[in-house]
Structures are given as C-alpha cells and as structure tokens.
Structure 1
C-alpha cells in the first residue's frame, strides 16, 4: 500500500522485484561469479556496453539540462562525464584483456537490444519530463550497484571478471547511486499521480532492458537479417 511516508525509491523497486530476481538468476551473472562465462560472451557484452555508455552519457546530459535544481544539474553532468570516462578507461582495459581495442570495438555494429534500449532511453530523456527521464536512467545506476554488491560477496576466479565486479560493487559507485536515489525521493515526493505513474512505467521498462542486455551478451546477439 502506498502511503504518504512511502519513499519513491521503495515504490519503484517494488515494481521490479521480479525483474531483479531474474537478473540475479541469469547465467551471464552466475558465470561472472564462478568464472564459467565464455570469454566471447563477455567480449560481446563489453563491446555493446561501450556503445551503450556513449548513448547513456547523452541521456544523462539531457537530465542535467532538465534538472529542477543545481544539485541535480551537477549530479547528472558529472554522471555524463563519468559514463564517458568509464567507456574510455575501464572498458579499454577490459577490451585489452579480451584481445581487442576500443577502436575495434567502436567499429563493430550495435546489436538489436542495444539499439532498442538506447532508442527508448534517449526518446524518453529528450521527449519526456525530468521525472520521466530520471525514471528511465535510474535502473542502470541502481541495478548495477545492487548486482555489484551481490557479486562482490561471491567473488570470481577470473581476474577480468573480478575487475568488472569490483567496479560496480565498490563504495565509490554506491555513493553516486545513493545521491541519485536521494534526488529520486526528493523529486518523487512532489509528483502528481499521473506523473508518478509515468516515472514508474519508464523505470520498469528500462529495468527489463537491463535483463535483456545481459541476455543479449550471453547469446552474443546479432541482427537476424
């Protein structure tokens, strides 16, 4: 039941508990933890994530422009810069460990799920209100932090996979996510029911895209025709 004391973050998470459970059960993440994930599946994922992060940075920049106060603008402007830095830094290191380069990865085609996710994300960010844009970008922050925290407890025998886990399971990333969640609660508290419903809809949709993104990596998804 929704009450006046219900935080927006709790309401949003209640909508995707089953999605998050499916994410944790996915063999891609299980394979990261136990080291059994084929390197080619991880390579596919990292290449597509490099494509994704470039588009995600643009969505965060739009959020920065639409934010209702300076704190929100500063938060998302920094987030946009950090997304680009992650693509250029951590991903470059992962790609090197996978026997390829960032330049070669950038030349590879964007897979169907990556294209669909980015199209939805950018359309919502550009065409929707700030709460709608916030709802759309939030799962990538929040779910990765939750997954990272879970996988840190399991560890990984594969050094490359352990590097990825540490990046998202660390305190620095969690601190950023906490700031976004605080903003979510602050913004959500003043929304009309129709505005909150739109925010929830976008949040649930991109949470499903998160599952689809890992699944696409596991399957090494390509265009069928």
Structure 2
C-alpha cells in the first residue's frame, strides 16, 4: 500500500518558499560557503544558538505535553532529543570547547533582542495553543536547518569550521529525526479544525521569518539599545 501523500506540511513549505529563498541568499549563509563570514560573527551566532536551545527545549516540552496520545508525545520528545543531540554533540560542545567557552560561561551572555523575542514567541505559542499549532511553531527550527544544510553541503566551504556546521545539518541522523517531526505534524493536521490549520500556517511562517531574523541580527551585530539591568 503506497504511503499517503503529505498535504498540510507540503503546503507549509510551499507557502514559505520566499522565506527559504531569502535565507539562502542571506550574507551569513553565503559567507559560510565562500569563507567571507568573520569567525567572530560565527562565534557570536553559536553562543546565541546555545542560549536559544535551552528555551527551545522548554517549548518542545510544552508542545509534547499537549500531544493527543502517548505515541505522538514519545515521537516528538524522542525525535527532538535526537535532533538536538546531533546538533549539540557535533557542533556546540566541540566548538565551544575549542573556543574555551564553558557551559557556565554561556549563562553570562545576554540573549539578543531577536533571540529573546523568538523564544518568547515559541514558549507562549506552545503554552497557549493546541498541539498542532504549537508543533507548527517549533517545526521551522528543525526543517529550515535541514534544508539549509542539504543545500549548503552541495556548495561546500573553504573553512573547516563552517564545513563541519554544514555537515551537521545535512547528516542522515539529523534528517531522520526531522522527518519524524514533519510526519507528526502531518498526522495531527488530519483531525485539526479549519481555524487551527489557519493558525498553524501563520505561526509556521512567523517562526520561519524569525529564523531569517536570527541570522540577520547576528550579521548586523544587533544589541539591546539600553542596559537590561539598571
């Protein structure tokens, strides 16, 4: 019996082709492949991403708590753990250690304005919205990175550190985990209301745009205009 053709998730990706195209054309991403991205900019990105992942994991947990059944909850938590473990083990732990930045040091960094806004949005959506909508909000983090990794690995990089980053997100282990999460969203969409589907499309797009803004804010050296603590 043939596998059912994805409808909802295919619509999600097609509906955000413009965002994905803008991401691929961003100087941060093109700089990874042609070697023009400054290493200090990349280091700031990795630090911000490490801060992001802590709050992102909270959003994933909130979404998992709303899963319609035990199998869905276990699939989400397991696949998310697998994807994040690939990222942390292959990338963050290696790079941060290479740069002499310990986990304790990370807590001394401030989240950038976009990082704070994005993770606040994810946590609020996961807390307030139904399962599919919350899942649609966290999905771009996994899916965009997978597709970016698969595209950039074709281009390669002249810088070993950047090549390792690219290969992490194009690895079979990462793709397998992400595909499970996409399939979970497709399954959840089959019983969702029209209103929930519309809301889910919106939050998916918002998160995809936040992914673009995350790279963009790092490239621009975005900082808080005023001190966070008086």
- TM norm structure 2: 0.90
Closer/same/farther in 2, CA of residues 37 and 110 from structure 1, 3 Å limit: same
8 Å CA contact retained: 2:62, 2:127: yes
Closer/same/farther in 2, CA of residues 87 and 20 from structure 1, 3 Å limit: closer
Partner of 2:58: 58
Deviation readout 1:152-209 (Å, 9 max, x if unpaired): 1111111111111111011111111111111111111222211100100110100000
Shift in Å, 1:15: 2.0
Partner of 2:173: 172
Shift in Å, 1:86: 5.6
Shift in Å, 1:35: 1.4
Deviation readout 1:82-127 (Å, 9 max, x if unpaired): 4664675331211233453333232111110000000000000011
Partner of 2:27: 27
SS of corresponding position for 2:107: helix
Q: Distance in 2 between matches of 1:36 and 1:183?
A: 38
8 Å CA contact retained: 2:79, 2:178: no
8 Å CA contact retained: 1:53, 1:87: no
* Structure 2: 5+ residue stretches without partners: none
Alpha-carbon RMSD across the aligned residues, in angstroms, is 1.7
SS of corresponding position for 2:152: helix
Closer/same/farther in 2, CA of residues 57 and 133 from structure 1, 3 Å limit: same
8 Å CA contact retained: 1:54, 1:84: no
8 Å CA contact retained: 2:6, 2:186: no
Q: Distance in 2 between matches of 1:36 and 1:83?
A: 28
Partner of 1:145: 146
Q: Distance in 2 between matches of 1:195 and 1:178?
A: 22
Q: Distance in 2 between matches of 1:76 and 1:128?
A: 16
* Structure 1: 5+ residue stretches without partners: none
8 Å CA contact retained: 1:65, 1:73: yes
Alignment of 1:122-141 (within 5 A): 122-141=123-142
8 Å CA contact retained: 1:63, 1:133: yes
- TM norm structure 1: 0.92
8 Å CA contact retained: 1:152, 1:169: yes
Partner of 2:18: 18
Partner of 1:45: 45
Closer/same/farther in 2, CA of residues 108 and 78 from structure 1, 3 Å limit: same
User: How many corresponding residue pairs?
Assistant: 221
Q: Distance in 1 between matches of 2:154 and 2:6?
A: 29
Q: Distance in 2 between matches of 1:158 and 1:193?
A: 47
Matched, 1:100 2:101: yes
SS of corresponding position for 1:167: helix
